[in-house]
Structure 1
Amino acid sequence: MSSRTYHIPQGGLPPQTDLLSGRAVFTTAYAVIPGSVQRDIVISYLPHWDNTRVWVLARPLSGFAETFSHYLMEIAPAGGSDIPEPEKDAEGALFVVGGQVVLKLAGKESELTAGGFAYIPPGCAWSLRNRGRAPAQLHWIRKLYQRVPGLADPEPIVTNEQSIGPTPMPDTEGRWATTRFVDPADLRHDMHVTIVTFEPGATIPFAETHVMEHGLYVLEGKAVYRLNRDWVEVEAGDYMWLRAFCPQACYAGGPGRFRYLLYKDVNRHMNLRQGVPLI
Structure 2
Amino acid sequence: MSQTVYQPQDAKGRDDKANRARMLVSCPDRAGIVAAVSQFLYEQGANIVQSDQYTMDPEGGMFFMRIEFDLQNLEQNLPSLQEDFTRIADRFEMRWSVYRASRKKRLAIFVSKEDHCLLELLWQWQAGDLEADIAMVISNHNDMRALVESFGIPYHHIPVTAETKAEAERQQLELTSGKVDLVILARYMQIVTPKFIERFTNRIINIHHSFLPAFVGGKPYQQAYDRGVKLIGATAHYVTAELDAGPIIEQDVQRVSHRDNVAELKRIGRHIERIVLARAVKWHAEDRLVVYQNKTVAFV
TM-score of Structure 1 vs Structure 2, range by shorter chain: under 0.3
Structure showing the higher helix proportion among its residues: 2
Of the two, which has the highest radius of gyration?
2
TM-score (norm 2): 0.23
Structure showing the higher strand proportion among its residues: 1
Higher relative contact order (CA 8 A, sep 6+): 1
TM-score (norm 1): 0.24
